[in-house]
Amino acid sequence: MTLTELRGVIPPIVTPFDEAGELDTASLRRATNYLIDNGVHGIFCLGSTGECAALTDVERITIVKTVVEETAGRVPVLAGITETSTRRTIRLGQMVIEAGAQAVVVAPPFYHMNSQDELLTYYRDLAAALPVPIIAYNVPVLVKTPLEPATVEILAKEGTILALKDSGGNSNILRDYIMRTKGIPGFTVLTGMEFLVDTAIQMGAHGSVPGIGNVAPAEYVELYNLSCAGEYAKARELQERLIKLFEICYQGSPKLSGSASALSGFKSAMRWLGVIETAKMAPPLGSLNAEEEEKVRQVLVDLGFLK
C-alpha cells in the first residue's frame, strides 16, 4: 500500500499513559508493533480513539515521532489534525508532517458549524498549504458539521483529498459516498463503523479504521481479507464475534459508544493482553475501576482472546 491509494485496516492507535498520567512511549512502541505484527496496513495517530482533543501539542508531536520511528517505514503513518480553524489546522499539520506523518486526517472544524461551501474552501486551503495527502473525515457527532456526499465528490474529483474516512454511522450516506466516487482513480472510502465492516466492503468500501482494531488487529485484517475475497458467510461470522467484543466498551459509565468509558474499555483490554501498562485516560476523561476492568477481562476470556 502506498500513499497514492489507501486500503486495508488502519487502526486509530490509542494513546497510553502511565500511572502518573504522563505519556507512556514504551507502551506506545509496543502498541505500534502489536498492530504491525498482526498485519495492519497503516497506523492512524491522533484520532478520536487516541484522545486527540485532550492532548497537548507536545504530546501530539511526541506520539507521531514515536510511532514513525517505531514503524520504521513498515506501514504508512497518518496523523489527525482536526482543529477549530484553517490557520490552526495548517499549523498542526506542519508540526505532524515535520514529525514524520505521511498523510493527514481532517474532519471539518469543530466548535462553530460550517457550510458546505466553507468546507470546500477549507480543504482546498489545506491542500495548498500542506505537502502530504489529505484524508477527509466525516464524524458529525463530534464536530457538528457533516461532510455531505456532494462535497466529498467535488473534493475527490479535483484531487484535493486522497480518501474519506466515514464515521457518520449512516450506511445510506456511506453508500452514497462510494457510488459518487467509485470512478475516481485511486480514491478510496474507509469505514469507521466497526460493526459494519463486512457490509461496507460488500458495498464497495476499501477498508476500515477500527478503534477496537487496537484490541483485535489480526481479526480485523482477516475480516477485511474475507470480505474482499467474497467469503461473505465467514466474514459475517467473524464480524458478529467482533460485535460481541464490543461488550468491553460498555462496562463503565456512561455506557455510550464513543464515551470515555468506551475508549477506556479498549485500553483495559490492551492492558489485559499485555500491550500497554495502564488503562489511564487523559483528564478529565475517566478510567475504569477495578471491578469494571475485571468485567473487560471476562469478555476477553469468554470470546477466546485471553486465557
Asked whether the predicted pLDDT for residue 256 surpasses 70, the reply is no
Which contiguous run of DSSP H or E holds residue 208?
A: strand 207-208
- Average pLDDT over every residue of 26-44: 98
Question: Which pairs with CB-CB distance under 8 Å and at least 24 residues apart come from 250-256?
Answer: 251/288, 251/292, 251/293, 251/295, 251/296, 251/299, 252/286, 252/288, 252/289, 252/292
| CA–CA gap between residue 227 and residue 204 (Å, rounded) | 10
For position 81, what pLDDT does the model report?
98
* Known active-site residue 137: yes
Q: Which of helix, strand or coil describes residue 2?
A: strand
**Residue in 65, 122, 123, 165 annotated catalytic:** 165
Of residues 229, 234, 228, 230, the one with CA closest to residue 205: 228
Q: Which of helix, strand or coil describes residue 136?
A: strand
Q: Beta partners for 273?
A: none
pTM for this structure? 0.95
* Known active-site residue 165: yes
- pLDDT tens-digit series, residues 53-98: 999 999 999 999 999 999 999 999 999 999 999 999 999 999 999 9
Mean pLDDT of the chain: 95
Where b means 16+ CB within 10 Å and e means fewer, 92-101 reads bbebbbebbb
| CA–CA gap between residue 7 and residue 204 (Å, rounded) | 12
**Residue in 34, 122, 137, 250 annotated catalytic:** 137
